[in-house]
Structure 1
Amino acid sequence: MTIIETSFQEICTELDICIENMHQFGCELLRASNYDDAESLLQKIRDLKAFQDKVNALNAEWCESFSNDPAIQDNQEDVSEEEANHETGRRRMKHTRLLVKFADGTIVAEKSAAMTFAKTLEIIGFDRVASANIVVNSEDLIGNETSKKYNDTYLDGVYVRTHSSTNCKKKILEKLANEFGLNLEVTVI
């Protein structure tokens, strides 16, 4: 898999997250009987879905027309052995991690972004985080059962949906900090 194919996949994942967040917001608008704004949001969701279809079509065109071209393959950035998926031979983007600083001086910086994310949520409080009703890849961020589709991080009796980009994890933490009035500094490293 080329870096460009991986990039298309990451864009599609981010668009899925945006659409899911818009669905949640739409539900909130409907609960509040704000039908005009809900209808406007519905059109935005349709437009975003149409955009996502265009991205998928571009990805398909890339794969069909360019991804196997030796001239393009020769120009792809070298990927270290650690960054290669040995089972499938696919290429991965460089791994990134998170560094989270709380106002009281607590720092969370684990070996993976997923574990830093999960431990930060644990410090915030899993029940509190669950009350924010955040959805990742069509599943609640905090669950009592393992995901049927994606890998989770299991911590302190709960499953944290960590199958998302590091930037997405950062955005979720910033959203929670804003919602709960927490002074968090979240950095992608």
Structure 2
Amino acid sequence: MFSRFRDAGKRLATWGVRRRVGAFAPHIPRSFRPSAFPICALPKGCGRCENGGSGFRYAHRPEERSRLWKARHSCYHANLAMHPDWSSVGTDACVPISALVDCIAETEADIRESGLYAPIVGHVGDGNLHLGIIYDDADRTARGKAEALAERVALRAIRMGGTCTGEHGVGLRRIGQIEVEHGEAIDLMRDIKRALDPAGIMNPGKMLRM
């Protein structure tokens, strides 16, 4: 298992993902179809300015795209490689593109204040960013701190006009968050759920508090 973590970290390093303060610096894969030229031109300037941009890579052929996305898919194991015996809590915040910079900046400040290890990755074509919050199970307060950080990230995304779940779904953990996000519309969702599943046998207890 540790070799998998180590190899994941090596793959990220191959693509220029940097480490800082015990965590990987934000690394943002993006999928898009229009011409890459305007986007290609941006990081070259950013790399020379205070924003610290570190490069841009793109691919056209499926095998090349798969190779690029391998770094994103390796992030979970790379996070745990920093502390192989620790556990992880993930987030799935998604905000409008116009709010993405502010969301990441506030989240980075939140991570520093929390004292937790929480690398940020994302696929920002849809404004989606993920934290891989890792914590020491031996510390009885650590999971609570990790869950609290994840909750703040979700509520921050909602406050900025986004959603608590960009792709992973509500499940159990985000039931309270989805109520904040949709407000009174939750009652309509419950009515639809009761109409379609009067016996309550379809995924009981998930997504909606009935």
- TMscore range, shorter length: under 0.3
TM-score (norm: length of structure 1): 0.28
Q: Normalized per residue, which structure has more helix?
A: 1
TM-score, structure 2 normalization: 0.26
